[in-house]
Chain A
Amino acid sequence: MSSAATDASQAASSGGQDVSAYVIHHVGNSDSWHPLPGVGVPLGGDFHLFGIDLGLSLHALMLLIAGGIVFLLFGILYKKQSDRAPSGITNMLEALVLFVRDEICVNYIGEKDGKRLAPFFLNFFFMVLVLNLMGLIPLFSTATANISVTMGLALITLTMMIIGGIVKNGLVGFFQLFLPPGVPKAVYIILFPIELMGLFIKPFALTIRLFANMLGGHIVIFSLLGLIISFGWFGVPSLALALFVFFLELLVAFIQAFIFTMLSAMFVGDMMHPSH
């Protein structure tokens, strides 16, 4: 990663190769944080546990900062005003919390379990939202454009699906979820593996969806800005297009956070209270 960065900074006029390196450097993970141009903060680095590299990388730092921001929002800035109508940040946060609880949790998982699992989905929603929005601030980087991060979140959904299914339906009932009723018995031979694959494909789709949306948006923005590197002053009009895509990315940040949470809730709800 750092060698690619030095390549980009050395060969300033070689065109395509450097632009791609520049783009990849900006959207990918790295070992150092560059909050301001020219200021590089090397992070933890080489901390290996059981052969897995657990050093603090840029995206890991972004995760921690996002956690800190969410905690700041709800733990400190949210002032509980139980005796009158809410206002300010409390109002905005409450609107979002109510939205997630009512339209997403209770709607897809049911009244009782939905309210019980609401903290999970609230966490999903706000973490993904804050991570997405942080990616739009030049100071930070988009952690959700990292497939490992989205995969981690989707694996949490998968775990909830499996555990929820087993707890609500029993172990035998869990496997019966993959044998939908109203189907001639002979078809089960094909249907059971397909349904089982469906169980794993759903979180996989969650992963790819969030990852590709975030990554794609940022690649487009950086590619458009890279035109300035390639063409010098003639590339400056691409700023307008980059600005437009930037606003689009803002919208996509909210939408993708909502979709991720909603689909997670839908999948978990299907496992816990099968509708068929």
Chain B
Amino acid sequence: MADNITNNQHMTEEVQHSDPAHTDPGSALVIPDPGMVIWTWLVFFLVLFILRRFAWKPILKSLEEREESIKNSIGDAEEANRSLERAMQDQRTLIDEGRKKAAGAINDAGNTATAAADELRENARKESEKMIAEARSEIIREQENALAELKSDVGDLSVMVVSKLLDADLDNDRNRGLAKEYMTALSG
């Protein structure tokens, strides 16, 4: 009992200081205490200024630098990739052109060969035709020569026969000419 009275006296004393926290302990939780607010500001700004100088700024700066270097190296890699692609493309075009030229050259060679062969054949044909024509005309000339000789021989022979038959001398030219005339009229 005595304890209770002392406690009550304590409580009334504290109430006289108009401190709601001791009459109703629960409300102390929702009543702001200016001292704590100031403590909060103190600690927050203390930590902020110390860390800003020793931690936040250097860390953020090194993160920035790393991002920059990553971006740069990615850019460089892309540039290298592109130039490699271009070089490959050039190489491919060159190979294609080379192949085309080779095919063209082969084609041309073939064409030239065929053309030459045709020409040779043509020439040979013309040569042979010429030779055949010449031979033919030669044959005809020879024929005519032979015929003329034969005609003169026959003329001579017939004169001899007739002279034998007639026992006359028909050796002179006038008679020979006459005999030839008769020959021609008979044969022709």
Alpha-carbon separation in the docked complex, A191 to B40 (Å): 34
What are 13 A-B pairs at a CB distance below 8 A?
A28-B28, A52-B35, A54-B38, A55-B35, A63-B43, A75-B54, A78-B59, A115-B60, A118-B60, A123-B47, A149-B37, A151-B32, A215-B29
Of A66-74, A180-188, A251-259, the segment with at least 4 beta carbons within 8 Å of chain B is: A66-74
> How would residues 54 to 68 of chain B score, 1 for a CB under 8 Å from any chain A CB and 0 otherwise?
111111101111100
- Evaluate whether A74 and B56 lie within 8 angstroms (CB atoms) in the complex, with A67-B47, A148-B33 already known: yes
Of B18-26, B112-120, B146-154, B165-173, the segment with at least 4 beta carbons within 8 Å of chain A is: B18-26
Contact across chains for A53 and B48 when beta carbons are under 8 A apart: no
Q: Which residue of A lies closest to B48 (CB)?
A: A123
Contact surface of A with B, Cβ cutoff 8 Å: 1, 3-4, 20-21, 24, 27-29, 52-55, 57, 59-60, 63-64, 66-67, 70-71, 74-75, 78, 80, 82, 94, 97-98, 101, 115, 118-120, 122-123, 127, 145-149, 151-153, 155-156, 215
Alpha-carbon separation in the docked complex, A97 to B54 (Å): 15
B26 CB contacts on chain A under 8 angstroms:
20, 24
Contact across chains for A53 and B31 when beta carbons are under 8 A apart: no
- Evaluate whether A24 and B44 lie within 8 angstroms (CB atoms) in the complex, with A75-B51, A118-B56 already known: no
Alpha-carbon separation in the docked complex, A148 to B34 (Å): 7
Beyond contacts A98-B63, A147-B30: 15 other A-B pairs, Cβ-Cβ < 8 A, are A1-B21, A1-B28, A21-B25, A29-B28, A52-B38, A53-B35, A70-B51, A74-B51, A127-B44, A146-B29, A146-B36, A148-B33, A148-B36, A155-B37, A156-B41
Contact across chains for B48 and A119 when beta carbons are under 8 A apart: yes
User: In whole Å, how far is B44's beta carbon from the nearest beta carbon of chain A?
Assistant: 6
Contact across chains for A82 and B22 when beta carbons are under 8 A apart: no
Alpha-carbon separation in the docked complex, A145 to B40 (Å): 13
Q: Which residue of A lies closest to B65 (CB)?
A: A82
Question: What is the predominant secondary structure among interface residues of chain A facing chain B?
Answer: helix
* B145 at interface, CB cutoff 8 A: no
Q: Which of B7, B28, B40 contacts A149 (CB 8 A)?
A: B40
Contact across chains for B59 and A80 when beta carbons are under 8 A apart: yes
Size of interface on B: residues with Cβ below 8 Å to A: 42
- Evaluate whether A24 and B59 lie within 8 angstroms (CB atoms) in the complex, with A29-B36, A123-B44 already known: no
Q: Which of A64, A66, A119, A145 contacts B57 (CB 8 A)?
A: A119
Alpha-carbon separation in the docked complex, A66 to B39 (Å): 13
A94 CB contacts on chain B under 8 angstroms:
59, 63
Q: Which of A3, A20, A74 contacts B10 (CB 8 A)?
A: A3
Question: What is the predominant secondary structure among interface residues of chain B facing chain A?
Answer: helix
* B86 at interface, CB cutoff 8 A: no
Alpha-carbon separation in the docked complex, A222 to B152 (Å): 166
B64 CB contacts on chain A under 8 angstroms:
115
Contact across chains for A147 and B52 when beta carbons are under 8 A apart: no
Contact across chains for A24 and B29 when beta carbons are under 8 A apart: yes
Alpha-carbon separation in the docked complex, A98 to B56 (Å): 11
Q: Which residue of B lies closest to A48 (CB)?
A: B35
Contact across chains for A127 and B47 when beta carbons are under 8 A apart: yes
* B50 at interface, CB cutoff 8 A: yes
Alpha-carbon separation in the docked complex, A215 to B60 (Å): 34
A78 CB contacts on chain B under 8 angstroms:
55, 59
Q: Which residue of B lies closest to A5 (CB)?
A: B25
Alpha-carbon separation in the docked complex, A84 to B64 (Å): 15
Alpha-carbon separation in the docked complex, A119 to B54 (Å): 11
A21 CB contacts on chain B under 8 angstroms:
25
Most A Cβ at <10 Å: residue of B14, B35, B54: B35
- Evaluate whether A57 and B36 lie within 8 angstroms (CB atoms) in the complex, with A27-B29, A94-B63, A97-B59 already known: yes
Contact across chains for A80 and B38 when beta carbons are under 8 A apart: no
User: In whole Å, how far is A36's beta carbon from the nearest beta carbon of chain B?
Assistant: 24
Alpha-carbon separation in the docked complex, A75 to B44 (Å): 16
Alpha-carbon separation in the docked complex, A56 to B180 (Å): 175
Alpha-carbon separation in the docked complex, A47 to B119 (Å): 127
Q: Which residue of B lies closest to A81 (CB)?
A: B62
Q: Which of A24, A123, A146, A148 contacts B51 (CB 8 A)?
A: A123
User: In whole Å, how far is A127's beta carbon from the nearest beta carbon of chain B?
Assistant: 6
User: In whole Å, how far is B74's beta carbon from the nearest beta carbon of chain A?
Assistant: 16
Contact across chains for B25 and A63 when beta carbons are under 8 A apart: no
